[in-house]
Amino acid sequence: MALRYELDLQLFAEEKTEKATPKKRQEARKKGQVAKSNEIPGALVLLSSFLALMMFGGFYKERLVALFKDFFLHRLTSEITMENVINLFGSAAIQIAIMLAPIFAVVIIMALLSNYIQVGFLLTGEPLKLKFSKIDPIKGFKNIVSMRSLVEMLKSIFKLLVIAVVVYTTISGAQSEISKMGHMAVERTFSYTAKLTMELGLKIGAALLILAAADYMYQRYSHSKSLRMSKQDIKDEYKKMEGDPLIKGKIRERQRRMALQRMMQEIPKADVIITNPTHFAVALKYDGNEMDAPQVIAKGQDYVALRIKDIAKEHGVITMENKPLARALFHRTEIGDSIPADLFQAVAEVLAYVYKLKGRVK
C-alpha cells in the first residue's frame, strides 16, 4: 500500500500541471518556439492590399490610361526594330513597377508588422539547424495523424466555408445589378465589376482577420500547454539556477569555518577581551599610529566566546568582565569596525587599566 502511494506521488510530481517559468519561456523563445498564428499575416496582407487599391484607385487609373494611351498613340506606328521593342518593354516595365510599388510596400510593411506584433523582434537560426529527428518517418507519420494536424485541417475547411458564405451573400445581394450588366455601357460595367470586387475583397479580408484573431488565441493556449512543467521540472530548474541547497549549505559552512579560523588567528594581537562573562566576548585592538579609534578584531557568543577566552588565556591577553559594554559592542559592531563614539569613554577606561597592568602607556 505504501509503495503504491509513493508511486502515485511520483507520477503526480511528473505530471505537466504547472505553468512554464520565465526561464523556460526564454529558452523556448531562443529556439524559435513562440505563440504565433500564420493566419494573421495572410489576413492583414489581403485586407491591406484591397484598402491600398481603394486609396490609390485614382493613381492606378491615371497610370493605366497613360500606359495604353502611349501604346496606341505612339507605339503602333513606330518601326519594329530591336531598339524600339527594347524601349517599349523597358518603358512598360517601369510604368508597371511604379504602379505595383505602393501595393508591394503596403504588403511588406503589414507582413513585418503582423509578425512583430505577435512575437516582437526575434532573430534565431535554431529552426534552420539540421536535425535528423526532422526526417524521421515514424515521427513524421505521427505528426500527420496528430491532433494538431486535425485541428489545422478543420481550420482550413472552416475558413473555406466562411469565404464561400461571404461570396454567396455578396453575389446574391448584387444579383439584380449583375443581371443588368448586359445592357450597361462598357465603362459602367468595368466600374461596377471593380466595385463588387473591392467589396468582396474587403469582406473576405475582414472575415479572415476575425478568424486569425481566434486562431492566435488558440495558438497561445496551445503554446502555453506545450511548455507546461511538472513540479519536479521546476525543482530541477531551481537547482540549476541557484545551485543544490545541500552543496550551497556546505559551501556556506566551509566559508563560516574559514572566517572563524581567521578571526581566531587575530585574537593574540588583541589588547583586551571584554566579556559578559559567559555569553559574549569581544576582542579589541588599538594602535595610535594607525587607528583613529579601537577596533573590534573578534567577537563571539556562547561556544565561540569560550573559545576566544581560551585562546586569549593561552597567549596572555588580558580578559576583563564588563557586561553592559560587552553586550553593546557585540550587538552594535562587526569585525573590523571601529567602536561607536558613545562607547569611547568606557573603552578608554578599560584600555587605560589594561595598559597600567601591562606597565606601559599608550
Q: Between residues 211 and 268, which one has the greater pLDDT? A: 211
pLDDT at 12: 47
Interatomic CA distance for residues 344 and 154, integer angstroms: 85
Q: Say which range, 64-73, 87-96, 215-224, has the weakest mean pLDDT.
A: 64-73
> Mean pLDDT over residues 57-79, rounded?
76
Of 125, 102, 118, give the one whose Cα is nearest residue 52: 102
Buried b (16+ CB within 10 A) or exposed e, 196-234: beeebbbbbbebbbebbeebbeebeeebeeebebbeebb
State the CB neighbour count (10 A cutoff) for residue 346. Answer: 16
The stretch 229-235 carries a mean pLDDT of: 79
The pLDDT score that the predictor gives to residue 7 is: 44
Cell of 341: 563614539
Say if CB 265 and CB 283 are below 8 A apart. Answer: no
261 and 298 Cβ atoms separated by less than 8 Å? no
Going by pLDDT thresholds of 50, 70 and 90, the confidence category of residue 50 is confident
Sheet holding 295-301, edge to edge: 295-301, 280-285, 272-275, 318-321
- pTM of the predicted protein model: 0.53
- Residue 93 C-beta-side C-alpha neighbours within 13 Å: 6
What are the tens digits of pLDDT across the range 278-328? 788 888 888 877 777 888 888 888 888 888 888 888 888 888 888 888 888
Q: Three cell numbers at 340?
A: 561607536
Rounded mean pLDDT, 224-250: 74
φ, ψ for residue 230, nearest 5 deg: -90, 165
Q: How confident is the model at residue 125 (pLDDT cuts 50, 70, 90)?
A: low
Query: What's the rounded mean pLDDT across residues 101-112?
Result: 86
In the predicted structure, residue 13 carries a pLDDT above the cut 60: no
Categorize the per-residue pLDDT at 161 as very low, low, confident or very high, splitting at 50, 70 and 90.
Answer: very high
Instruction: Classify residue 337 by burial, with Cβ atoms within 10 Å: 0-12, 13-18, 19+.
Output: middle
